[in-house]
Amino acid sequence: MYTYLLFLLILLPCLAFSAWASARVNSTYAKFDRVPTRSCMTGYDTATRLMRTRGVNDISVNRVDGRLTDHYHPTKKQVNLSMSSYGSTSVAAVAVAAHEVGHVMQKHSGYVPYKIRNVLVPVTNIGSRLALPVIIVGLLLDLLWTTSPMPYGRWVVYIGIALFGLSTLFMLVTLPVEFNASHRAKKMLVEDGILSPDEVPAASKVLNAAALTYVASLLISLVYFLRYAVLFLSLLRKD
């Protein structure tokens, strides 16, 4: 009971931080989406030029529905920009487009954390969906089969914790990947004359606000993982 209350006391501030980070990225983007760049280049123009000037000619730039749904799809070789970024000439749109190109350049240059994250993607996609249900099923089995000679329930719990651990590892690797993509983005924007040096601080605010959402996700994932790690240790003590 005490450990569960402690878990809640740690989790609630993390959830509050996550909500604040989400609101912050939306408000920051909205603020600088009203600030046009002097170069008058759109998000599409930005992504296209940054890749072409660096010899990347096999990636298409597409428009997708939604707001802040921008992403790079390495398998399909697509930089997908949201409707709010694709045709906008704002500092916010240009910064987001350049960030996605930052991921393209990570793959192109063989950036190691990016490679690790890509390897983890298929496993963590499954793990993040199955971890909690597996843990719950394991606990139920453990309660129902306490007299059984085979600890079926506990093994299922262990599998669930391992899956959750992989998801947490994925979030941990994602942080340097996202920060590095933003660093690359700002450098490329200045090198190609899309933003002048005095426009970069505004772009930094947009990218830093977006990075906070990844920090929040990592914190929440860590708290849950530690919660289940404590559960794992408690089961070991019963053996």
For the stretch 159-218, pLDDT in tens is 767 777 777 888 889 899 999 999 999 999 999 999 999 999 999 999 999 999 989 888
Band of pLDDT at residue 123, cut at 50, 70 and 90: low
Under a CB-based contact definition with an 8 Å cutoff, are residues 81 and 43 in contact? yes
Q: Does residue 88 surpass a pLDDT of 50?
A: yes
Tokens of 166: 């992989």
Question: What pLDDT, on a 0 to 100 scale, did the predictor assign at position 151?
Answer: 60
CA distance linking residue 181 with residue 206, whole number of Å: 13
**pLDDT for residue 234 is more than 80:** no
Give the residue-averaged pLDDT of 45-63: 96
pLDDT of residue 180: 97
User: Number of helices (H) and strands (E), helices first, in the chain?
Assistant: 7, 3
CB atoms < 10 A from the CB of 3, how many? 11
Lowest mean pLDDT among 90-104, 116-130, 160-174: 116-130
Do residues 79 and 61 make contact, with C-beta atoms less than 8 angstroms apart?
Answer: yes
CA atoms in the 13 A half-sphere facing the CB of 79: 28
pLDDT on residue 127: 47
In this predicted structure, which of 6-10, 151-155, 176-180, 212-216 has the lowest mean pLDDT? 151-155
Residue 62 has pLDDT above 90, yes or no: yes
Q: Is pLDDT above 70 for 239? A: no
Rounded Cα–Cα distance for residues 77 and 49 (Å): 16
pLDDT of residue 130: 52
Q: What span, in angstroms and rounded, lies between the C-alpha atoms of 196 and 222?
A: 39
pLDDT at 238 over 80: no
Higher pLDDT, 8 or 71: 71
CA dist 26 → 33, 147, 163 (Å): 10, 53, 31
Q: Please give the mean pLDDT across all residues of the chain.
A: 85
CA 106 to CA 108: how far, in whole Å?
5
Give the whole-angstrom CA distance, residue 78 versus residue 6. Answer: 44
Phi, psi (degrees; rounded to nearest 5) at 199: -90, -15
Mean pLDDT of 55-78: 94
> Which of the residues 100, 178, 191, 199 is marked catalytic?
100
Specify whether 100 is catalytic: yes
pLDDT of the residue at 124: 58
